[in-house]
Amino acid sequence: MSIRTETSFHKKEILLEDHVSTIYRGILKGESETKILRIQKERTRDEDSFYFLNEYEIGKLISDDHILKPERLIKIQDRYCLIYENLESSLLSNYISKVGQLSIEEFLQVAISITGNLVHLHSQGVLHNQIGPSSFFYDTDTKTSVLAWLGSSSLLLGEKGNLAPLQISPTLLAYCSPERTGRLNRSVDFRSDGYSIGILFYQFLTGKPPFESDDPLEIIHAHVARVPVAISEKRKEIPIPISSLVMKLLSKMPEERYFSLETLLHDLRMLNDSIRSRKSVLEFIPGFTEKKISLEFRKNYMEGKKKKKL
């Protein structure tokens, strides 16, 4: 693969930093259009270039407007740089930091939007693996989101799932599933992203992730062994069905979570419709329709894999 080299770019704004890159809005030298640029940090290991190459290759397999994909992979001063179209919206993490915790109505709007993003990704056989509040751009006017940063993503290798992928970004350790820690000797599949989105939902409703510590080992232990306090106990006005839905996502064992986020999206929409029309949600059971929806999801996914092979 031939990679074009650029000498510099004009920085307009820093969007985000992680363990391998800094992400900017900027304009490449000789161009006029603002882009989003993800540039490899100077003092990273040689193997960290994998994140950039991986995201570029995964992006080629995805056809979806709900997911931000790199348009180009170049080098700037011997460092990899992914180029994306510019989005006018801000990172979801900025919005959550500003508002603290969401109302029930806004929680459901945001939850439906970002779950829909992940459903689109999973339907193409791809796991994200690094979900956190900075993994989405969110437009507060349209209440729509776009999923981003596929550097740690992986294709699901058959129905048994994958091995725990890559290292966990220190900034996203609070959102890591138990099986991704490597402590459970379990494979990683769609339900791992489901756990991470459950942590996000918990934060949306309470203002903080369930497990926080300056000690990474303590956070890992909490993901594996500690049961978080139910949301309905922290915020009395949160309906028990919403609290139960989030707690199902946060189950330690993958088989106790939602099998697919298709079912989660169905449940979120049903709760949203019921609450908006002032219907009772007391009889709601998270994942009640799981069997029917998850079997259809699995069937469509496996048929899609067979077609790709042909």
pTM given for the model: 0.88
Mean pLDDT of 259-271: 94
Predicted confidence band of residue 295 (pLDDT cuts 50, 70, 90): very low
**The pLDDT of residue 164:** 45
Question: How do residues 66-123 score in pLDDT, each as one tens digit?
Answer: 999 999 999 988 899 999 999 999 999 999 999 999 999 999 999 999 999 999 999 9
Query: Looking at the predicted structure, is the pLDDT value of residue 183 above 50?
Result: yes
Question: How do residues 204-215 score in pLDDT, each as one tens digit?
Answer: 999 999 999 999
- How far is residue 11's CA from residue 34's CA, in Å, rounded to a whole number? 10
Query: Which residue segments constitute the domains of the chain, with CATH numbers given?
Result: 5-85 (3.30.200.20), 90-309 (1.10.510.10)
